[in-house]
Amino acid sequence: MVHRVDDLSITTGKAGAGQYAKVSYPIRYGIYDEIKTAEYIFQFNLRGEIKHIQGRAEDWPNPAEWLKRTEGNDWNYYSSGDYNGIADRFGEYYFPCLSYASNSVMADSPFLCKGVRRAFSEVAALRERAERIGLAFVPAEIRRFLERIAAHDEKALAANAQLFHRIIGGRVSVLPPDARHADYDVVPLILADGCLYNCGFCRVKAGRELKARSRSDVAGQIADLKRFYGPDLQNYNALFLGQHDALAVGADLIEFAAASAYDSLGFERSFMERPALFLFGSVDSLLGAKETLFGVLDRMPFAVYLNIGLESADGDTLRLLGKPISEFKIREAFARICAINSQYGRIETSANFVIGLDLPPGHLASMSRLGREAAPFSSGKGHLYISPLVMDERSGREEKRALLAQFDKAKAASILPAFIYLIQRL
């Protein structure tokens, strides 16, 4: 339904794309509601929460770029860069500029732009207008929509994010890099807390020993998440089994969690097509896993993306990083990654490495050597994700340029497609 109120064009139940795509123009997914003004396009999820803002005035950095709000109540700005450079380095045509400290090596600071700063005050003013308009004579469907968005002010959005984190037991500190295939719109379901290694270099781990959740805990999360997402659940078809090493919990809990979530959350009926499942694994959980576990994953009604943290195949680098495993295990794990990609049709396994300006000289050479050793087993599936060791967003431009040059060198030497891993939370 489209309705005009003064200078506002209001559309409810607008249908976007039903499949995630790699395109160099703005695209929206799922079903959403929208308000257009002369200067902004505001888009809302089906609970009435603001999700996207796109500027139309001269003070907006680029009319093809937009802001996106996550369920964790973070704002990310989707920058097009020069398209070719962005796609080559990130595997997508748009680069998410984060509003919090991460490991980004890009120099973009769109949150300092006048039009972007103004957008946040404009959406607040729009909510106030919605409350007034909602009292006037408008069609019932439009009035209900305006009442929903008026109720979701900044205080309500923050409270909903806190509820979201309570349901899953805390913030998701990092999403798998392959979640880009679902534009990071994933439902998180936590199967285990902590980590096997708690490596010295890592900024996202909890510092606790790995401990699996119980079936009852997982079932409770699913029930609470279903209530939390409510009518907007039809826009989701991707599941993240977290946090840092869900592979370690074994086939029984993984199968129970994935099957229960698929049925209860209605992924089969989602507006979005091609359900996807994302999870992390460690070197030891990968090497210790039985083939029956991968058989379970391969039979699931999802495209499965498994991501393994290797970091380096150089012993000196592993010791410097505080990763308590040997380079022999790294090579063994990489070989199994290649074997899984060859053997299982619905599983795609990727590997993470790091780059840094102070790493030992053997690090980059070991990555190239590893790729050459695995070349005979390459199946055309899988990616390398390379995480820059950036301390925070205050790192200097020269440091970031040097890290980009190091990435370009590593990418050129890789037999697998290689992309920068941007640490994003939820």
CA-closest candidate to residue 347, choices 287, 391, 317, 307: 307
Verify that 230 and 351 share a domain, yes or no: yes
Separation CA 116–CA 64 (nearest Å): 13
Q: Report yes or no: 179 and 186 within 8 Å, Cβ to Cβ.
A: yes
Rg of the chain over CA atoms, in angstroms? 22
pLDDT for position 2: 87
Verify that 124 and 175 share a domain, yes or no: no
Verify that 37 and 113 share a domain, yes or no: yes
pLDDT for position 61: 94
Q: Where are the strands (E) in 208-336, listed by range?
A: 211-212, 238-242, 276-281, 303-311
Q: The domain spanning residue 180 has which CATH number?
A: 3.20.20.70
Q: Which residues touch 257 (CB under 8 Å, ≥6 apart)?
A: 189, 191, 218, 222, 241
| Strand pairing report for 187-190 and 192-193 | unpaired
- Find the length of the chain: 426
* Domain end call among 157, 180, 211: 157
CA-closest candidate to residue 353, choices 372, 338, 334, 374: 334
- The 3-class SS string of 40-72 reads EEEEECCCCCEEEEEECCCCCCCCCCEEEECCC
Residue ranges in the chain whose pLDDT is less than 70: 82-84, 107-108, 134-136, 200, 203-207, 373-379, 391-395
Number of domains, the chain: 2
* Domain end call among 157, 188, 204: 157
In which domain, by residue range, is 30 found?
A: 2-157
Any domain includes 95: yes
Separation CA 313–CA 360 (nearest Å): 11
Any domain includes 113: yes
List, for residues 299-311, the tens digit of each pLDDT value.
Answer: 999 999 999 999 9
Residue 305's DSSP bridge partners are: 278, 348
Verify that 334 and 275 share a domain, yes or no: yes
Verify that 45 and 115 share a domain, yes or no: yes
Q: Report yes or no: 285 and 246 within 8 Å, Cβ to Cβ.
A: no
What backbone torsions phi and psi does residue 14 show, to the nearest 5 degrees? -75, 135
Verify that 141 and 182 share a domain, yes or no: no
* Domain end call among 97, 124, 157: 157
Q: What is the pTM of this model?
A: 0.95
pLDDT for position 248: 97
Angle between helices 215-229 and 154-168 (to 10 degrees): 160
Any domain includes 162: no
